[in-house]
Structure 1
Amino acid sequence: MPTRTSRLSSPISLAIFCYLIWGFVPLFYMPIHAFGGGALEIIAHRSVWALVWAGGLVFLTKQWPDVFAAFASAHLRTMLLITSILVATNWGVYVWAVTNGHTIESSLGYYLNPLLNMAAGAVLFKERLDNWGKSAIALAAAGVVIQAFAIGHVPWIALTLAVTFGSYGILRKQLVVPALAGLFVECAYLFLPALIYLVWFESHGQGHFFVPSQAFWFILTGPITVLPLALFSYVARRLPLSTMGFIQFIGPTSTLVIGLFQGEPFTLLRGVSFAFIWAGAMVFAFGAWRRLKAIKVATI
């Protein structure tokens, strides 16, 4: 009989892969931004091509009955509409941030997101939050306050990213719908508005799609969007929110490194704020390691 640790090992590996993709995705947007693609154009193409790729995966995995069932359920239709709005907002703010010199602040948003997941797991789902987790949240919260002083204003980019994606994860965890089927429905909601915008944009001579070398990058926004979201939807229903919270630190750390290499400002005070956040991550990691060790001992 598989132990709890072995049952979690595969979802954990997939979650790590998912957040590595998200962490390095700013590198993908650099060529698009270089030839003039703006945030709205990128988001619109993401919405259109994500539906195409999600549809292909649904076809290959024979999940059309699940898609039809989701559309047939008033509750699922409503909840997936809400999650589609959350994810579209998250996409928009993130793409604008990483293409306008705010990559480091966007990384802060995804440092905050795991903390929201930890707190939500304790409050909403009664997941146990030990002293290590509480200390981690306190340290990271202090880091956020220092960050606000460092940049001279409320870090709205970071807060928006944290709240939208944190809420998305919490809601998707509660929906009884396969990951791909739910993702397809979300993309379907976004498809028509995005297509209308792109037709209007191209008709006014402002688009970049009809240059083959540029179209290639826009089409790739489909798999770049669908693969990590599908993985996230899959693992979010199989891992405790506290575990997801720990793994999610991989993404923002990767993004932070990219922002530093791009030459974004990183003052001493900003460094202090991230030091608090990293300390929180390490404290929680140590607590997670202790819990995993206890599980292994209990199953011997």
Structure 2
Amino acid sequence: MTHKTTLQGIGAAIAAYALWGLLPVYWKALNGASATEILAHRMIWSLLFLLGVLAVRRQWNWLQIIRQQRRLRLTYLASATLLAVNWGVYVWAVQINRVVEASLGYFINPLVSIALGVIVLRERLRLAQWLAIVIAATGVAWLTYNAGALPWIALALALSFGFYGLLRKQTPLGSFEALTVETLWMFPPAILWLSWLAGHNGGIYHDPGLWLLLISTGVVTAAPLLFFGAATRRIPLTMIGILQYLAPTLQLLLGVLVYGEPFSTAQLIGFSAIWTALVIYTGDSILAARRYQPITPPEQKRG
């Protein structure tokens, strides 16, 4: 891997996570539409955009796999449902000025994924990883105690995306193809919902600016995936694991500095516990990756 390739990979990863991190700005601009309407438009226009990209790339071999495996189709129906929940809750959280709590969901999501790996896939954790989970759980408990209620928006986002990742881990298609299948599943209910809104004087039909933003949700959805795919081909997953925290960090900063959401000392303590857990987990992952990295024989280094 050349230095130029690494820099390109880092740049692509930063672009992907920056776009995901700045999504609250986009959803705020769509405040004239309801969260369910935005979700329906996102499913429809994402599907059309993805199909266009796949047509340009001439990537249709995956259709044969989908046609032949009923269980795989049902798996993607389940993952599509989880994705719809995740997208819908996130847009709604932004609309009701809960961007900070939404960012918490994506901070704890990697730790939820670890827990699911242990419980469902019977993966074994190292001591540092167990420590990270305990510290993160303590942080969530602290936030719950001080708020007087569970941070359910954060937990809904973390759990829905955690289970989504678990399902996707067990499927063979790439991210673009898989998302196409998922949006295909969601296309009929999305069309039905928008048709119902139109029949009951709902929906956004007289504002060209809002229409353009709604149509562009397909590009907004797919663009970070393109950058993310380019990054995974150029840099190690451990580096991607570190950069992924850029997205919720940007969301947190937007919530506090731009949208003026409260961020108390109690919240800072709870977030700090979760950040500590992420540092421990990420550091342990980097050390483990270096420990198990194959050593290149001296004669191969001279080429």
Common topology (TM > 0.5): yes
Q: Any unmatched runs of 5+ in structure 1?
A: none
**Does 1:74 pair with 2:76?**
no
**Does 1:290 pair with 2:296?**
no
**Does 1:162 pair with 2:158?**
yes
Q: Give the superposition deviation at 1:56.
A: 0.7
**Does 1:56 pair with 2:58?**
no
Give, in whole Å, the separation in 1 of the partners of 2:169 and 2:238: 13
Q: Give the superposition deviation at 1:16.
A: 4.9
Q: Any unmatched runs of 5+ in structure 2?
A: 298-303
Q: Give the superposition deviation at 1:174.
A: 1.0
2:251 counterpart SS class: helix
**Does 1:93 pair with 2:89?**
yes
* Contact 1:114–1:244 (Cα < 8 Å) also in 2: no
Among 16, 24, 28, the alignment partner of 1:26 is 24
Give, in whole Å, the separation in 2 of the partners of 1:73 and 1:202: 36
Note the 1:220-259 alignment, pairs <5 A. Answer: 220-229=216-225, 246-259=242-255
Moved more, 83-92 or 284-293: 284-293
1:64 counterpart SS class: coil
- Residues 179 and 285 (structure 1), Cα distance of their counterparts in 2 relative to 1, 3 Å cut: closer
Give, in whole Å, the separation in 1 of the partners of 2:185 and 2:167: 17
Q: Give the superposition deviation at 1:207.
A: 1.5
**Does 1:212 pair with 2:198?**
no
Among 270, 288, 298, the alignment partner of 2:267 is 270
Give TM-score, length-normalised by structure 1. 0.85
* Contact 1:173–1:233 (Cα < 8 Å) also in 2: no
Give, in whole Å, the separation in 1 of the partners of 2:233 and 2:78: 18
Q: Give the superposition deviation at 1:126.
A: 5.8
Q: AA paired with 1:75?
A: R
Q: Cα deviation per residue 1:16-41 (whole Å; 9 max; x = unaligned)? A: 543332221111111111xx111111
- Residues 57 and 256 (structure 1), Cα distance of their counterparts in 2 relative to 1, 3 Å cut: same
Q: AA paired with 1:181?
A: E
1:265 counterpart SS class: coil
* Contact 1:114–1:249 (Cα < 8 Å) also in 2: no
Give, in whole Å, the separation in 2 of the partners of 1:152 and 1:201: 37
* Contact 2:129–2:281 (Cα < 8 Å) also in 1: yes
Moved more, 263-272 or 63-72: 63-72
Note the 1:88-237 alignment, pairs <5 A. Answer: 88-125=84-121, 129-229=125-225
Moved more, 20-29 or 78-87: 20-29
- Residues 82 and 66 (structure 1), Cα distance of their counterparts in 2 relative to 1, 3 Å cut: same
Q: Cα deviation per residue 1:189-245 (whole Å; 9 max; x = unaligned)? A: 111111121122123332214422111100111121233456668989999998776
Q: Give the superposition deviation at 1:104.
A: 0.8
Give, in whole Å, the separation in 1 of the partners of 2:20 and 2:150: 24
2:260 counterpart SS class: coil
Give, in whole Å, the separation in 1 of the partners of 2:264 and 2:114: 29
Give, in whole Å, the separation in 1 of the partners of 2:45 and 2:55: 15
Moved more, 90-99 or 238-247: 238-247
- Whichever of the two has the greater Rg, that structure is 2
Q: AA paired with 1:253?
A: T
Q: Cα deviation per residue 1:164-193 (whole Å; 9 max; x = unaligned)? A: 101111111110123322211110111111
Q: AA paired with 1:48?
A: I
* Contact 1:179–1:230 (Cα < 8 Å) also in 2: no
1:175 counterpart SS class: coil
Q: AA paired with 1:78?
A: L
Give, in whole Å, the separation in 2 of the partners of 1:116 and 1:239: 24
**Does 1:260 pair with 2:249?**
no
Q: AA paired with 1:279?
A: T
Give TM-score, length-normalised by structure 2. 0.85
Give, in whole Å, the separation in 2 of the partners of 1:259 and 1:177: 35
- Residues 238 and 193 (structure 1), Cα distance of their counterparts in 2 relative to 1, 3 Å cut: farther
Measured on the aligned residues, the alpha-carbon RMSD in Å equals 3.2
* Aligned residues with identical type, % of pairs: 36
Q: AA paired with 2:244?
A: Q
